[in-house]
A = this chain, B = another copy of it.
Amino acid sequence: MNNPQLNKHGELQHLLTTEGLPVTIVREILDRAATFVDVSDGLEINNAPLLQGKSVFNVFFENSTRTRTTFEIAAKRLSADVVNLNIGASSTSKGETLMDTVDNLCAMHADMFVVRHGQSGAAHFIAKHVDPGIHVINAGDGRHAHPTQALLDMFTIRHFKKEFHNLRVAIVGDVLHSRVARSQISALTTLGVPEVRVIAPKTLLPTLVENLGVKVYHDMARGLRDVDVVLMLRLQNERMQGAALPSAGEYFKYYGLTEEKLARAKQDVIVMHPGPMNRGIEIDSSVADGPNSVILSQVTFGIAVRMAVMSMLAGVSK
């Protein structure tokens, strides 16, 4: 089977997941994103009219103002026309199938779909069915993947650490339910990070997680020892009410990132979080706002990375 993300020239046709994405493509995305970042006077994002006359449809079957906004602003900085569609409340409630919805959007001759969907695999399914001229970007599908989040994380790590081959990275929290974690692990691996750790209680880890090439820790003190990068995960509210966790307070005690726990990491460790943060649950405010936090840089770089992906897709051979 061909890689569903690449065209016959090996160029990026869709961005669906970081799994199986060639390292050359990953590096190309990061390099291109760097051209949109201006560090001369603080961090600035440059505009570029590379998508002039192109239509980007933000097709959100699951509501997410934040993610939708980052894609919208990225597309507008590239001079694209942007159309936002919250599908949740419309066609599907009219009994239309997902396939019919997608066919209709294709027939409107969009150039790019940014898709968020609650079901794993939805973006792949859509990419398989769209016309050849249309590009699909996965903005999060179920528990499966959130590749632009992982790529902006990689950009952030490279910005602060320069290289990947000498890093020790820890991912902390609800790995089991996290599409972000899944995409991060494969991106880190692809880029040659020699040691990726996951730190979580057993109830929040997938079975056979070791098969992903990570080291498993259930204890923060040991798991954070000497790491260069900490990638915190968001704890979904619904987990806290479920059987997976005793209580938010208990969770914070064992897995919340505090200055004390972070002291085990390297001194120049960077702390990241995809947001929105639950302060006092998975992360202490002193860390979130502390000198090692690069959480807001992630947001800025996220615009640049999304611009990079969109402009690569728009420039692809037909």
Q: Which residue of B lies closest to A43 (CB)?
A: B109
Asked whether, in the complex, the Cβ of B66 is within 8 Å of the Cβ of A73, the reply is: no
Q: Is A260's beta carbon under 8 Å from chain B?
A: no
Asked whether, in the complex, the Cβ of B299 is within 8 Å of the Cβ of A237, the reply is: no
Q: Is A203's beta carbon under 8 Å from chain B?
A: no
Asked whether, in the complex, the Cβ of B70 is within 8 Å of the Cβ of A108, the reply is: yes
Q: Which of chain A's residues 116-133 have a Cβ closer than 8 Å to chain B?
A: 131
Q: Mark A161-180, 1 if CB is under 8 A from B, else 0.
A: 00000000000000000000
Q: What's the number of copies of this chain in the assembled complex?
A: 3
Number of residues from A at the complex interface, CB < 8 A: 54
A96 with B65, Cβ < 8 A, contacts A44-B109, A107-B296, A107-B299 known: no
Q: Is A7's beta carbon under 8 Å from chain B?
A: no
A77 with B87, Cβ < 8 A, contacts A109-B45, A299-B108, A300-B108 known: no
Q: Mark A200-220, 1 if CB is under 8 A from B, else 0.
A: 000000000000000000000
9 closest A-B pairs by beta carbon, nearest first, are: A107-B299, A96-B276, A65-B90, A76-B81, A107-B296, A107-B300, A94-B276, A45-B109, A47-B53
